[in-house]
Amino acid sequence: MNTDTREKNRPTNEVFIALAVLTLLEFLISYLDQILGQNLILPSLLGIAIVKAGLVAAFFMGILYEKNRRDIVLIVFIFPAVIALIIAVIPLFG
């Protein structure tokens, strides 16, 4: 038998606060495009979005507490995302 070994005391409230703060930060940064410039805005906002998505996946979806978390990240997120990117980019070659 395999008992439930997941962490019961998840930092849900802390993650929520982090997500709210990051959303506010994104919102504010988007208004600084004239100051920061497109080349800085784009990676900054994408970076924050990926961190937020990572927090949701790790804590809310509970991937961090799964035994097979590396496999889940690779098979569920990375692999399909790379395939999607390749399919999207293919028409740009040639």
Q: Which of 44, 42, 51 is nearest to 15 (CA)?
A: 51
Token digits for 70? Answer: 């590396």
Q: Does residue number 40 form part of the binding site for another protein (CB under 8 A)?
A: no
Among 36, 40, 64, 77, binds another protein (CB under 8 A): 77
Q: How far apart are CA 83 and CA 88, in angstroms?
A: 9
* Pair 33, 41: CB distance under 8 Å: yes
- Tell me the closest approach of the beta carbon of residue 35 to another protein, in angstroms: 15
Amino acid code (one letter) for 72? I
Chain contacts with another protein (rule: CB under 8 A): 1-5, 8, 10, 12-13, 16, 19-20, 23-24, 26-27, 29-30, 38-39, 41-42, 45-46, 48-49, 52-53, 56-57, 59-61, 66-68, 71-72, 75-77, 79-81, 83-85, 87-89, 91-94
